[in-house]
Amino acid sequence: MGLLRVMMPPKLQLLALLAFALAMFFLENQIQKLEESRGKLERAIARHEVREIEQRHTQDGLRERDSSSSALSEREDDVVIIYNRVPKTASTSFTNIAYDLCGKNHYHVLHINTTKNNPVMSIQDQVRFIKNVTEWREMKPAFYHGHVSFLDFTKFGIKKKPIYINVIRDPIERLVSYYYFLRFGDDYRPGLRRRKQGDKKTFDECVSAGGSDCAPEKLWLQIPFFCGHYSECWNVGSQWALEQAKYNLVNEYLLVGVTEELEDFVMMLEAALPRFFKGATELYKTGKKSHLRKTSEKKPPTKESIAKLQQSAIWKMENEFYEFALEQFQFVRAHAVREKDGELYLLAQNFFYEKIYPKN
């Protein structure tokens, strides 16, 4: 290089240096452009990766939400309600509401019709029934109803139990209604011939004569229906049966209403189980067949007849159970329903969540 500088004229040396400088400037400019292009590319790649991550998170969230929604739907569709209805407690009126709503609310209603309305199932029928209730998926969600005493599913190794509901009635009023029903039927199926049709004896006359159809033993029904399939449940006047019935009412039933306040019962069921009872309250108020089924030719008993029945230990036990159920129902209602200007309305949700940790 030094030799070239010696041999080259000064002008050429200057031109060579200028050309070299231009070449270096051009190269540096190209390198800078490449660096800028690489930076843009890296930023574009980074933005693309962020979008991909966000998209994956969104898709995962949607899948989780869909999965959660599907799981919730499956849980709702796996619900079974059992209404082991006590005779002459407005059970047909209430069941008609379930029949009216089942198509609209998409569930099945199944009537448990036992031979001669026997409320106690054989051990083999208990197993068959429990197998149907738990495994008959084509019929779920389901509303089962029938004159059957309480059946404890846990005895058969079933972890997911059905939801029990029921309605009971003042024991003497229930017996009087049943007495006349057997003789005159009701306005639900007026043409059907009843077992005691033709017997014109009034309830008061039956009590006065000491007849079997109005005997205190006939009051023993609501206790065994709630007590269940134990032999002691059906021993008339059993204190053990009374306590077991109370235990089951509190621990095994979602809600037990009373005939005298059936609208409140329907309203609370609609609030608690809308999957089944959405629209039930309005239907109860306006429906043509919902709803109350009335026994024909029923005559209220005299004070003397009532007083005579109330002397029996059986009435005292059945009435104790009724009062126990009524107190429990009124307690639940007081925390769920209010009355204003003669109209009932449900209380709004009055709990909320706070201090949720960890904070995101």
Residue 231, CA atoms < 13 Å, CB-side half-sphere: 0
- φ/ψ region of 15 (left if φ > 0, alpha if ψ in -120 to 50, else beta) reads alpha
In the annotation, is 111 catalytic? no
Question: Of the residues 147, 229, 291, 335, which is catalytic?
Answer: 147
What is the CA angle 183-184-186, rounded to 5? 130
Q: What angle do CA 59, 64, 69 make, to 5 degrees?
A: 125
113 within 8 A of 146, measured Cβ to Cβ: yes
CA-based nearest residue to 165, from 286, 270, 284, 75: 270
Sign for the pseudo-dihedral over CA of 244, 169, 221, 283: negative
Q: Is the dihedral of CA 241, 246, 249, 250 positive or negative?
A: negative
Of the candidates 48, 106, 111, 145, the residue annotated as catalytic is 145
Q: Is the dihedral of CA 114, 119, 124, 129 positive or negative?
A: positive
Beta strand spans in 138-248 (E): 142-145, 163-168
Q: Distance from CA of residue 171 to its chain's centroid? A: 28
User: What is the spatial distance between Cα 161 and Cα 80, in angstroms, rounded to a whole number?
Assistant: 8
351 vs 91, 156, 254, 347, 354, CA distance in Å?
A: 34, 37, 20, 11, 10
Dist. CA 259–CA 194, nearest whole Å: 23
106 is catalytic: no
Residue 141: is the preceding peptide bond cis (ω within 30°)?
Answer: yes
User: In which element (H, E) is residue 340 found?
Assistant: strand 337-340
**What pairing do the DSSP bridges indicate for beta strands 343-346 and 108-111?**
unpaired
Residue type, 238: S
Catalytic residues: 145, 147
